[in-house]
Amino acid sequence: MVSLLKTEWLKVKKYNTFWILSLLYIVSIWGLNYIVYNVQQNIYDKKKTGGVVNMIIGNPPYAFPKVWHMTAYVSSFLLFMPGLLMIISITNEYSYKTHRQNIIDGWSRTQFITAKQLLTIIIAIVSTAAVFLSALSFGFMEGSETLSFDNLEYILYFFLQTLSYTSLALLFGVVLKRSGIAIGVYFLYTVVIENVVSGLLNHYADYSGRYLPLKSVDNLIPFPVFENMTRQFLKQPNFSVQLTLSLIYLALYYYATKRKFETDDL
Amino acid sequence: MPEKVAENFTLIKFSTNTIHMQPVLSLQAISKRYGNIQALNSISFDVPEGSVFGILGPNGSGKTTMLGIILDILRADAGSFSWFGTSPSAESRKKIGALLETPNFYHYLSATDNLNITQAISGRGSTPEIESVLETVNLAQRKYSKFSTYSLGMKQRLAIAGTLLGNPNVLVFDEPTNGLDPVGIAEIRQLIKDLAKQGKTIIMASHLLDEVEKVCTHVAILKKGVLLTAGAVDEVLTNEDIVEISASDLTGLEIIIKEFNGVTNVKQDGNHLHVFFPINTANLEEINRYCFSKDITLSQLTLKRKSLESKFFELTNN
């Protein structure tokens, strides 16, 4: 496994596109949260609202311990980025035909695809670390409470969520092979298609839209503000069902990707 | 269509004078279909150790498909193959240096960085050896340039360098001189001859007859996925003697020569006749004496060895 990762490292080490996008993505995690943080600061400005907001919403979402939940939720809007990195990594192999050469040179098909699946985990770990550090910095910037690790489980859910996005991206890459179409389909699916289908299902089929592949993992990190109110109006997802479904979908992505690569003509 | 072609040919079984040795590669009834195109139809042959084995065929005859199958890039629909007498595996591929179809490298990496990956995957070679194979293919000066900046010929040289890494005993080349200039072609042919002298087994696909004729000891000829013939080059080339004769009375000559002892076939080719005999049976003096005794004076009498080219066209034009 170490040698697979070492070889994968040799492939990306000098790949500028990968590093530029990764860097921008990590900066954007902090940046997007900073935008929302600024909005929060304006709303909670005592001079304007005189503490009324505090009474309705509760403590600011970027204060400990809520900040873990809030940062994970806001950062999840950038999840198409780690998927994009993963698609670039796999479709490059197809366009350079290096997936063939790697096999010719002596990797088994299983080794090749395992190396890529390990990469989905690495990307998810790095994303999660970036979210953790951003949350920590906003918690301290807010400064309303002392450091607290309550709610830290949301960072773990964020890891699971990122892993689902990167592994689904890998599956799209392995099935579609060409970068342009894989990126287009992945982007539209994650940003538009699943949300539309989910909305329709929620409206016409008793909220079953929440059981769709990405929705099940998205729902592990619900909208972090007005929770009491939404609880009254909406039928709440069952957490353990959502978690179990997310893990089943994840296993399916891995299995389908592996099987596709192992049996295809390359 | 392909099925019809298949019926028209009887597969010529590969005859080998190295039966006692374990073949490096053995194919048994490999078939592969793409939709309604039969890309390979029950291909069987053995590659003896130490041979330079040419796979010859026109474009689209299934050469690359066949190499793709033995390198586990493509899945055969039927049949099996073995490397070194064992069923194929990633481990057996590590012992083979192979280049398939095009040079496949990471465009954003230099020659050295690309070969580092080849080395990491195959376990063949070492850092100093990467330098030396790049010297061998004359790429040392450009080893730090990105692959994307290379000309087609340079890419091909890098691919050959990759196969040489770790000095493997078996090499597979698919159109090795593709994209090279005449000097490059001569260099690569010399390299292949040198490798053969070191006792390496080389499997080489080509549509260039001349190339196969110059470097190969064995040849397999493919057409539309059917194996027409396979064997040692001199066996495939000269399974009959051809005597070229002519005289002023060509019609008279044709009549009498057909009655000559041992003649299997007579064909007119321009203003001379091609007379076919079983291998090593044509006796030019006898022919001359016979014709003279029948009152025909020959103006030309030559024993022709069949060139691979004429053999190739004869086989593939049917």
Amino acid A227: pLDDT: 67
- Domain count within chain A: 1
Q: Do A104 and B102 touch (CB under 8 A)?
A: no
Architecture of the structural domain at B2-236: 3-Layer(aba) Sandwich (3.40)
- Ranges of chain B with pLDDT below 50: 1-19
User: What percent of chain A shows pLDDT beyond 70?
Assistant: 92
Domain range for A43: 2-263
Cα Rg of chain B (Å, integer): 23
Query: According to the model, what pLDDT value does residue A230 have?
Result: 62
**Are B120 and B165 within 8 A, CB to CB?**
no
Confidence of residue A144 (pLDDT cuts 50, 70, 90): low
Chain B positions touching chain A (beta carbons under 8 Å): 68, 71-75, 89-91, 93-94, 98, 100-102, 104-109, 113, 116-118, 120-124, 162
For B90-119, the pLDDT digits (tens) are: 999 999 999 998 999 999 999 999 999 999
Q: Which residue has the tokens 């197809």?
A: A94
Q: Give mean pLDDT, residues A134-156.
A: 87
Q: Which residues of A103-141 are buried (b: 16+ CB within 10 A; e: fewer)?
A: bbbbbbbebbbbbbbebbeebbebbbebbbebbebbbee
Average pLDDT over residues A25-53: 85
CATH 3.40.50.300 positions along chain B are 2-236
For A83-123, the pLDDT digits (tens) are 999 999 999 999 999 999 999 999 999 999 999 999 999 99
For helices B111-122 and A2-12, give the axis angle rounded to 10 degrees: 170
Radius of gyration for chain A, computed over Cα atoms and rounded to the nearest angstrom? 20
The model's confidence at residue A145, banded by pLDDT at 50, 70 and 90, is: low
- Could you give the 3-state DSSP secondary structure of residue A65? coil
In chain B, CATH 3.30.70.980 sits at 238-317
| 8 Å CB contact between A200 and A209 | yes
Residue of B105, B118, B162 lying closest to A96 (CB–CB): B105
* Dihedral angle computed from the Cα positions of residues A15, A19, A20 and A23, in that order, rounded to the nearest 10 degrees: 180
* Full DSSP string of B147-172: GGG--HHHHHHHHHHHHHTT--SEEE
Which pLDDT band holds residue A45 (cuts at 50, 70, 90)? Answer: confident
Q: Quickly state the pLDDT bin for A221 (edges 50, 70, 90).
A: very high
Q: Give the sheet arrangement for strand B37-47, strand by strand.
A: B37-47, B25-34, B78-83
CATH architecture assignment, domain B238-317 = 2-Layer Sandwich (3.30)
CB contacts of B115 in chain A (<8 Å) are none
Residue A65 preceded by cis peptide, ω within 30: yes
Distance of residue A14 Cα from the nearest chain B Cα, in angstroms: 7
Task: Determine the pLDDT at residue B200.
Answer: 94
